[in-house]
């Protein structure tokens, strides 16, 4: 199974562990992720918050390059996924936009590629039974709260999930790896996203709600699929605890890290040592 891989900026920096674990899991399951050569930023929130043409052009450049690779594009970052997928639809549907974008990027792209999230590849292409068979270190006994956030679920038309209100893709994978996904209501609540920098107290409140709900629902840890969600829940957890004086202590993994662990990949190769909330106690069980 070969795919054109778009890592995105986060996975080069704060989410380096997401990248490490993704590539390690892919290799272990026989998935070939070929990086799109000379890829550039997807534009993320700043582009589409300021200029719709810019928001289409930045992903379009990457898609035009990927087009020559002739494979489905695989993305891990939720924001990159959202931008690439929405530009893909916009370019296919709007000829005027297509012409404008082609002039800016100097490349023709008329839609047609399939943009997939790695969660879809695991669920649909590899399959849950294959994952189950590949597990060497079952996560049994581990209660996980799968957290999907906003960008993988909205808008409904772009959602990777056939069920945006109660998504299951991560839950399925965690269950296949032996863990016990908890039922909880905050799977798709907002973590506060990029307000982490400009209005930290808002993020502390929103992410705090998510952390407390996960804990209250009996989870031992949270599993995330977005670099910004993971960072807000993990990195800001100490601030949340300080603000409320309430100990939470929930490790926040990327789904690829926990899956990699179950597949027997050494924790160091998954970047697990990079997490802020120490997961060693729950992984040692």
Partner 1 sequence: MRIGVFVCWCGSNIAKTVDVQAVAEAAKDMPGVAFATDYKYMCSEPGQNIVKDAIREHKLDRIVIASCSPRLHEPTFQRCIGDAGLNPYMVEMANLREHCSWVHEHTPETTQKAIELVRMAVAKVSKDQPLFRKDIDLTKRALVIGGGIAGIQAALDIADAGHPVVLVERTPSIGGHMAQYDKTFPTLDCAACILTPKMVDCASHPLIDIWTYSEVEEVKGFVGNFEVTIRKRAKSVDETKCTGCGLCLEKCPMKGISSEFDESMGTRRAIYRPFPQAVPNKPAIDRAHCRLFNGQKCGVCQKLCPAGAIDYDQQDQLVTENFGGIVVATGFQLWNHAALGEYGYGKYPNVISSIQFERIMNASGPTDGHIVRPSDGKTPKSIAFLSCIGSRDDTHGHAYCSKVCCMYNAKQALLVKDKLHDVDTYVFYMDIRANGKGYEEFVRRTIEDFGANYIRGRVSRIYPDGDQLVIKGADTLLGKPVEVRADLVVLATAMEPQHDAKDLARKLGISTDQYNWFSEAHPKLKPVEVLTDGIYLAGACQYPKDIPDTVAQASGAASKVIGLFSKPSIKSQPMIAYINEDTCAGCGLCTEVCPFGAIDLVEVMDRSKSTREKQVMKTVAQVNEGVCKGCGTCSAACRSLSARLRGFEGNQILAEIDALAESKRS
Nearer to partner 1, 54 or 213 (CB): 213
Contact 179, 139 (CB under 8 A): yes
In whole angstroms, the minimum distance from the beta carbon of 195 to partner 1 comes to 16
Query: Closest Cα to residue 47, out of 56, 34, 39?
Result: 56
Smaller CB distance to partner 1: residue 87 or 119? 119
Instruction: Enumerate the β-bridge partners of residue 252.
Output: 222
List phi, psi (to 5°) of 203: -65, -40
Tokens of 7: 């890592």
Q: Could you tell me the two tokens for 136? A: 């060497």
Cβ 154 to partner 1 shortest distance, Å: 12
Q: Tell me the window of 144-152, 156-164, 242-250, 276-284 that interacts with partner 1 (CB under 8 A).
A: 156-164
Total residues contacting partner 1 by CB under 8 A comes to 6
What is the smallest separation between the CB atom of 25 and partner 1, expressed in angstroms? 28
Nearer to partner 1, 131 or 211 (CB): 211
Q: Does 156 bind partner 1 (CB under 8 A)?
A: yes
Is residue 265 within 8 A of residue 25, CB to CB? The reply is: yes
Cβ–Cβ under 8 Å, residues 118 and 47: no
- Out of 165, 201, 246, 278, the only residue in the binding site for partner 1 (CB under 8 A) is 165
Q: How far is CA 29 from CA 51, 69, 154, in A?
A: 40, 21, 29
Nearest alpha carbon to residue 193 among 223, 151, 158: 151
**Smallest distance, Å, CB 185 to partner 1?**
3
Q: Which has the closest alpha carbon to 132: 183, 179, 166, 167? A: 179
Nearest residue (CB) to partner 1, 205 versus 274: 205
Question: Cβ 213 to partner 1, closest distance in Å?
Answer: 9
For the CB of residue 224, give the shortest distance to partner 1 in the complex, in Å. 19
Taking the C-alpha atoms of residue 250 and residue 278, their distance in angstroms, rounded to an integer, is 8
Site string for partner 1, 184-203 (x = CB under 8 A): -x------------------
Q: Where are the beta strands (DSSP E) in the chain?
A: 2-6, 32-35, 73-75, 115-117, 143-147, 180-181, 221-224, 252-254
Does the footprint of partner 1 cover residue 70 (CB under 8 A)? Answer: no
* 137 versus 156: smaller Cβ distance to partner 1: 156
Binding segment (CB under 8 A) for partner 1, from list 65-73, 159-167, 247-255, 259-267: 159-167
Stretch that binds partner 1, among 49-57, 163-171, 237-245, 269-277 (CB under 8 A): 163-171
Place of tokens 């489905």: 72
Does residue number 164 form part of the binding site for partner 1 (CB under 8 A)? yes
Record the tokens describing residue 262, joined without a space: 């179950």
Interface ranges with partner 1 (CB under 8 A): 156, 163-166, 185
């Amino acid at each position: 199974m070969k795919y054109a891989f778009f890592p995105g900026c986060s996975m080069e920096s704060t989410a380096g562990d997401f990248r490490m674990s993704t590539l390690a899991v892919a290799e272990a399951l026989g998935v070939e992720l070929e990086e799109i050569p000379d890829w550039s930023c997807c534009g993320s929130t700043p582009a589409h918050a300021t200029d719709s043409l810019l928001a289409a052009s930045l992903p379009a450049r990457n898609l035009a390059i990927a087009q020559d690779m002739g494979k489905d594009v695989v993305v891990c970052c939720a924001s990159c996924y959202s931008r690439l997928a929405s530009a893909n639809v916009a370019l296919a549907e709007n000829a005027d936009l297509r012409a404008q974008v082609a002039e800016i990027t100097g490349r023709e792209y008329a839609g047609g590629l399939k943009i997939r999230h790695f969660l879809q590849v695991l669920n649909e292409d590899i399959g849950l039974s294959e994952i189950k068979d590949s597990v060497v270190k079952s996560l049994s006994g581990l209660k996980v709260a799968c957290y999907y956030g906003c960008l993988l679920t909205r808008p409904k038309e772009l959602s990777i999930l056939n069920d945006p209100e109660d998504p299951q893709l991560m839950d399925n994978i965690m269950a296949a790896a032996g863990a016990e996904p908890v039922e909880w209501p905050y799977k798709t609540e907002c973590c506060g996203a990029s307000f982490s920098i400009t209005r930290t107290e808002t993020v502390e409140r929103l992410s705090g709600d998510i952390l407390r709900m996960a804990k209250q629902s009996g989870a031992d840890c949270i599993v995330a699929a977005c670099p910004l969600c993971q960072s807000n829940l993990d990195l800001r957890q100490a601030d949340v605890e300080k603000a409320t004086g309430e100990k939470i202590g929930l490790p926040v993994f990327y789904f690829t890290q926990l899956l990699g662990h179950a597949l027997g990949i050494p924790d160091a190769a998954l970047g697990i040592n990079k997490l802020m909330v120490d997961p060693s106690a729950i992984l040692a069980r």
